[in-house]
Amino acid sequence: MGFQFRGQLSMIVPSEKIGIFPNTPLSPSGITGLQDSFRLFRNSAHTGTLLVHFTETGAAHFFNTPLHLLFNGSYSLGDFIPASETSRLEEQLTSAPDNPARVAVIEHWLTSRLRQDKKDHLIEPAINRIHAAKGRLRIATLSRELYISPSRLEKRFRALVGASPKR
């Protein structure tokens, strides 16, 4: 999740038809799902940005949207929360006197949105096993170890993490 409290950020989008790379302006506050490729960005002079990086299951504790719908996408935060809340948050970040104050604004906002109901006691151990195996773990083996079918594991994993266990 990113917030521009000063300046403008644009994504550089390759265009094969015309051979140039036009800029696509981004919203001052946005959220990006997991990506399977890199992206290029361009910022105006003196752009100020605050980024929030979630753990694999972290974003699910703050948003109702199934995270797999965000895969490979970048969206305005206003697509997920009311416009009035987005505007208020952007105003607070812009008027904050320094970066510690901006971090405090985001921490307060996230704390107010925290949902405890998104814990999945099966997916956390699955993520730990994937990390321990450095990603070299067959899904069939993982699902057998966790006593769940591969399709059910993938569905729960995608909803909470935003991608399949293999990704």
Q: Which two tokens stand for residue 158?
A: 């995608």
| Residue 117 near residue 159 (C-beta atoms within 8 A) | no
Per-residue pLDDT reduced to its tens digit, 81-139? 999 999 999 999 999 999 999 999 999 999 999 887 667 788 888 999 999 999 888 99
Residue 65, pLDDT above cutoff 80? yes
The CB density around residue 28, as the number of other CB atoms within 10 Å, is: 23
DSSP 8-state symbol, 165: S
CA pseudo-torsion sign 77, 81, 83, 89: negative
| Residue 50 near residue 89 (C-beta atoms within 8 A) | no
Instruction: Tell me the whole-structure pTM to 2 decimals.
Output: 0.72
Q: Measured between alpha carbons, how far is 153 from 155 in angstroms, rounded to an integer?
A: 6
